[in-house]
Each structure stands twice: as structure tokens, then as C-alpha cells.
Amino acid sequence: MNTIQFAQRIPKAELHVHLEGSIRPKTLLKIAQRNKIDLPAKDEAGLRDFYRFSDFDHFIQVYSLITSCLKTPEDYRLIAYEFGVECARQNIRYAEVTFTLDTNIRMSGLDWETILESLNTGRKEAQDEYGIQWNWIFDINRNNPGEQEAKILEIALRSKEKGCVALGLGGSELEYPGQLFRDVFDHADKAGLACVPHAGETAGAESVWQSLNELHAVRIGHGVRAIEDPKLVEYLVDHQTPLEICPTSNICLGVYPDYNTHPLRKLWDAGVMVTVNSDDPPMFNTDLNHEYQVLVEQFGFQAKDLEKISLNGVKASLLPDDEKSLMITEFKNEFKTLREALS
């Protein structure tokens, strides 16, 4: 077994992945057909071509189309279950999955209770069948400030016993900076709900600082542009604030032109707590196994580094401490077995 095979087989945790952006073309075709929705392609190959990222406007177009196809409780059950199937294929044992609830409420016409119940039905089926575990992050869309923050926070707080572990923030950092959402994240923090905003992706280090200082961030979604501020890198190292880095997504979205210029290795070498994630896998022609392969082929990671990355995903998760400890022990035992096969 070589290092690439080791990377594929080790147990993993993923902290930055969007459910809507994880729907496979084959599944979208099935959902669209039964809901009588026309797609830009009639077969899986054509839809894969449509999925293929070209620019950010196209990315939004694809994302909107995917969400607009979801109309029934069965659709939500299916996409959750199939997310679990994909986790099992990649040996992802735990995930924290971002879901843009407000957009789905508006586009489907369903109430949030029905959507979440259906998602959790699929989640339980996957857990029962494959042993996969995940929790939800409900995110606020920055692009609609003032329209849905209070509602999403209320739903997230009411859903803590139904798997919601955090409040997220997505959308355009440049147009809608974090400070616009200070109040809702203050409320979330005071109510004991973790805050995990996207920052330092399309905007620079100042966006990360805002998330840390004004939004009570316990983790940073992306965060790669922290590299632009040495003082911020030092802060992240000192506080071991986790970054949810998505290398292939960053390349596709033009944050960096290629892996050679991507700062993951510099952040890792500086001692930042790095986690690696897939973001919107089919839309960027990736998955978490591929991201681990990229670590080996593009960033020179060895087996011991991959083990640490995997454990960082567990340590940076929002699982209770006792569950983290148990999962870390399980991961380490599997690492040992795989390492023996590697040698």
C-alpha cells in the first residue's frame, strides 16, 4: 500500500461541506424527473458537464438550480441518505454539514420542520446502515442582510436537539462584511450556539479578524487568506483556531490560480490548526478522498501528516469531549493497522 492508498483508506472527519453542493448529478436527474423540472441536460454525462465549474456566476447558477429542484420531503430524505452513502465510500466517519435552510424554505414551499424531519430521516437511515454520524450547521446568506438572520437563529436554537450544532455565514464577503451580522452572532454566542462563519476566502485577512473579534468564531470557514497578515497567522497558531481549508474549491473559485500558490503548506508549517475539506464536491469535481490525494501529490504530505489532518477534523469538531476522545482513539487504532500495511 502506498501513501495515496493510505490517504484513501484512513478514517476521516469533514467540517466544511454543503449538503446542496454535495448532490450527485445522478440524484438530481432523478429528483428533477419526478418533480417535472427541466434541466439543462437529459442524462448524467450532460449534467456533469453542466456542473463543471467555469466561473462564480455559473457556480451560483448551478447551486440555485440544484436547490430549486428540491420540492418534497422525499427529496430531502434522499439527499441526506445519499450524502451518508458518499461518506461511507470515503471512510468519512463524522461530518458537520452546512445547509442553507432559508433558501430551501423559499424554493420548496415547505416549512422548516418538515424539511429538517426529512433530512433527519435520511441521516438516521445512513447512520443505521453505515455507522456514519453527522450534525447540521444552518447558515445565513450574507446576500440578504436583515431578511432572515433572526429566523435562522431561532430555528437553529430550536433544532439543537435535532442535530444543529452551529450557526454559519456564507455568501459574498466583499459586499456583505461580517460586521453587518454582529447582533445575530452575539445572540447565538450568548445562547450557547457555536459560530462558524465563512471568512478569508474572497475577502482578505480583515474578514477573518472580523469573524474572530465580532462574530465569536470558534472555527473559520476557509480562512486561507489569513496568510496575508503575519499577526493573524500568529494569533491563529497561539489560539489553535481551526481553519476549514478547501484547496480544490479555492482553485476553482480563483482564490488562487493553482496549488503551487495555495498557502495551505505555509499555514501548516507555521503551526496553524488546519483541517481539509471538499466544500461542494461534485461542483468542483472533487471529494474528500481527492483532497487527501492533493495533500500528498501537491503539498508533499506524508502518512503522519495525513493522520494529524484527520485527527484535526475530530478535534476541531463540535462533538462533546467524550465523543471526541472515543473517536480519536478509534482513529488512532485504525491508523496503526494501516501504517503496518503501508510499511
Catalytic positions, written as ranges: 201
Please, where are the H alpha helices in the chain?
3-9, 25-34, 44-51, 56-68, 73-90, 101-108, 112-130, 149-158, 182-190, 205-214, 230-239, 247-252, 264-270, 288-299, 303-315, 321-342
Q: How far apart are CA 258 and CA 250, in angstroms?
A: 9
Q: Is the dihedral of CA 225, 231, 237, 239 positive or negative?
A: negative
Q: Of 239, 245, 219, which Cα lies nearest the Cα of 298?
A: 245
**Directed axis angle between helix 56-68 and helix 101-108, to 10°?**
60
